[in-house]
Structure 1
């Protein structure tokens, strides 16, 4: 444990933490738009309802299974970022959602405004996920799945792996009787490519500058 702490790149940790804050803010804006859930959450909600299980219990079960996969095939993706994302992301999202609705009193009614909020939310989520994943300080079990696949099949770009996982989750959600909203489709097909864009054109360059490369 002591060796692990001594080897931590705290500049990378700072970028990872900022990424989680941005992701939480983006999720709050996405939620404010009210146009559907992300594929992973939607899948868990739909299957939990189908099985008569509590959503939280089923999602915990899925995360445990994915954590086993992460430990077996992607142990290098475990780290402080895994804990930060698992423990704090939901609270960050709740905080920003309270600011937007409780403090600022925002209520989006007009569809064009909701669509703009959806796009802004997705863009911020993607920037946040890029900044939280690329520093290599650990990621959550579901996010690690795409990275493990990219390591296994490096000739296939990351965004195809991410998109395939999100689309599979959306399909399971649909066939389990869940609701597929515009936001679900946008995130299923859009997260991977936009995260890949930020990886190449922003976060990668930021990390290179921080590392003095």
Structure 2
């Protein structure tokens, strides 16, 4: 729970910095702009709908999966008005960098708990288990494909893209790699592949 709350705060900082959101959150903010539904609720609804896609992929959710689908979006909606809007880049740049770091720390806590991947991660690992034209795809390829698709759709919907998007895409993996071994519970292998950084 602590990790998911941190994750939600980090996402809020990234979005509120208005320098570009993470790929999935470009999609979430785009859908929010289009529908008028709060970004937090879009995060929750997307997470629940993605769990339905787990059925044909034969993925099994854990307690952490269900909590992930709900908590991050709720935290976003609670913290977004508290963090508020800021015009000064002197404030927005630290918000962006801090957001990426806090998401990485949150990822280390919730992945390290070993209670199940997030809905978006399960979609990627599920795709990696499938065979397409007799060939399987790697988790990295599955993740890249899914994130590029949602990023393009999010841009088309008017989602928040910018330098923060690049900072997240290139920074989150190495940062999670740093924090995950230090935050992993002893019953969970710290050498398992990093799969939870994108929710």
TM-score (normalised: structure 1): 0.64
Contact 1:163–1:188 (CA<8 Å) still a contact in 2? no
Distance 1:124 1:74, change over 3 A: farther
Distance 1:154 1:192, change over 3 A: farther
**Which of the two has higher C-alpha Rg?**
1
Measured in 2, the distance between the counterparts of 1:115 and 1:83 equals: 32
Contact 1:22–1:127 (CA<8 Å) still a contact in 2? yes
Displacement over 6 Å in runs of 4+: 56-61, 150-155
Partner of 2:182: 202
Partner of 1:113: 91
Partner of 1:84: 67
The yes-or-no answer on 1:27 pairing with 2:5 is no
The yes-or-no answer on 1:170 pairing with 2:151 is yes
Distance 1:19 1:70, change over 3 A: same
What number of residue pairs does the alignment pair up? 183
Is the helix fraction higher in 1 or 2?
1
Measured in 2, the distance between the counterparts of 1:109 and 1:178 equals: 19
Q: 1:188 aligns with which of 169, 174, 178?
A: 169
Runs (5+) with no aligned partner, structure 1: 1-16, 102-106
CA RMSD, 1 decimal: 3.7
Distance 1:147 1:191, change over 3 A: farther
TM-score (normalised: structure 2): 0.67
Measured in 1, the distance between the counterparts of 2:173 and 2:43 equals: 22
Partner of 1:138: 116
Measured in 2, the distance between the counterparts of 1:89 and 1:161 equals: 23
Which SS does the other structure have where 1:207 is aligned?
coil
Runs (5+) with no aligned partner, structure 2: 190-199
Measured in 2, the distance between the counterparts of 1:35 and 1:61 equals: 24
Measured in 1, the distance between the counterparts of 2:162 and 2:128 equals: 28
Distance 1:189 1:175, change over 3 A: farther
Measured in 2, the distance between the counterparts of 1:59 and 1:109 equals: 25
Q: Deviations over 1:139-193 (max 9, x none)?
A: 332132234456679996x666545533332233335554522222322343334
